[in-house]
Amino acid sequence: MGPTRKPRCTVIVLNFNGERLLPACLDSLARQTGADIDTVVVDNGSSDGSAALILQRYPWVRFIALDKNSGFSLANNIALLDALDRDSEYALLLNNDTFAAPDFVFQMLAVMQKGPSTAAVCPKIFFAHQPDRLWYAGGEFSPWTSTTRHRGWKEMDRGQFDHIQDITQATGCAILVRCDAMREVGLLDEQFWAYAEDLDWSARFLGRGYRLAFAPKAHLWHLDGATSVKFLGSGSEAVRQFLTSRNMVFVARKHVRWYQLPTYILGFILKHIAFYTALRLWRRDFRALWAIYRGISQGLRTPLASANQTSAQLRKAVSGE
């Protein structure tokens, strides 16, 4: 019997003014073992020398340059369509403010290949500045209470999350997706722009009968909020607060059933509106405080876009018809 062909996986790193972040991320991808990967950086209109850095130091990286910051969903969709066009079996979305263990991709693929019903896999993620403290060990979302939860958040890793488990909320920080499942379910919803698009994608995969899984042996370290707060929010949480508020309303309108709405709304008022109002007042971040209510208003008033990529549209886009 000949050697087993390694599955082809495209790793997509989204970048916006991340020149100082990219070396750690790309160097860790260069050290990956046991997995056949192609690495793509899609740049969201950076002005900090990111393009020159990649051309000079990382000639093996495919580079897609956009002329402006198009958000998380659209920029990643462009790279995902490129991966489909090159017939990748899997696509791995990865934040630029991360760095991975050498067997990171291999461990993700090992869980993905346990069964064709698995559409997406997420790793165990640690805080970069506290390398033994967990940022994500699987995620959960309840349409009954609007609760989203990272398992293990800020806990020390003592092996308490060392088993493969089904999850209901994947994280866009690092998510490995089966391309065949993506062809059926569609790409990221570009109306979200950024934040909660991963929750929407999770709900859509689950709604089609797919599984989402947590890969405990795949280890990643993350600089939380490095892009959204410093580069987008000028030190304020306003951008992130606006988008999360608006997009959680979008999630409710798309996925919460009518009989779940009373408890969803109550949970949203208590856990999102009241909590973050108090937090922003305490931190005196009045831009972010106002952003909560602007986001909710826009989430309620904005007509929902139709699915931006159906299976047929995907095939058409990939084939160039």
Same domain for 158 and 170? yes
Kindly state whether residues 139 and 284 are assigned to the same domain. no
Q: For residue 204, is it within any domain? A: yes
CA dist 150 and 138 (Å) reads 6
What would the pLDDT profile of 245-301 be if each residue is shown by its tens digit?
A: 999 999 999 999 999 999 999 999 999 999 999 999 999 999 999 999 999 999 999
Verify that 172 and 281 share a domain, yes or no: no
Q: What is the pLDDT of residues 124-153, one digit of tens each?
A: 999 999 999 999 999 999 999 999 999 999
pLDDT value at residue 3: 46
- Looking at residue 74, its pLDDT comes to 95
Task: With a cut of 90, say whether residue 22 has pLDDT above it.
Answer: yes
pLDDT greater than 80 at residue 308? no
Within-domain flag for 317: no
The CATH number of the domain holding residue 107 is: 3.90.550.60
End-of-domain residue from the set 200, 226, 252: 226
Separation of alpha carbons 30 and 17, rounded Å: 21
Co-location of 33 and 169 in the same domain: yes
Any domain includes 85: yes
Whether 260 is in a domain gets the answer yes
Considering the domain architecture, whether residues 77 and 218 belong to the same structural domain is answered as yes
Do residues 203 and 238 share a domain?
Answer: no
Q: Domain tally for the chain?
A: 2
pLDDT tens sequence across 181-240 = 999 999 999 999 999 999 999 999 999 999 999 999 999 999 976 554 454 545 679 999
Are 150 and 276 within one domain? no
pLDDT score of 311: 47
Vertex 96 angle, CA 133 and 138, to 5°: 40
Q: Domain containing 93: what range?
A: 8-226
Task: With 0.85 as the threshold, say if the pTM is over it.
Answer: yes
Q: Which of 197, 226, 255 is the last residue of a domain?
A: 226
Please give the Cα distance from 265 to 237 (Å, whole number): 23
**What three-state secondary structure class fits 176?**
strand
Give residues with Cβ within 8 angstroms of 284, minimum separation 6. none
DSSP 226: T
> Both 103 and 243 in a single domain?
no
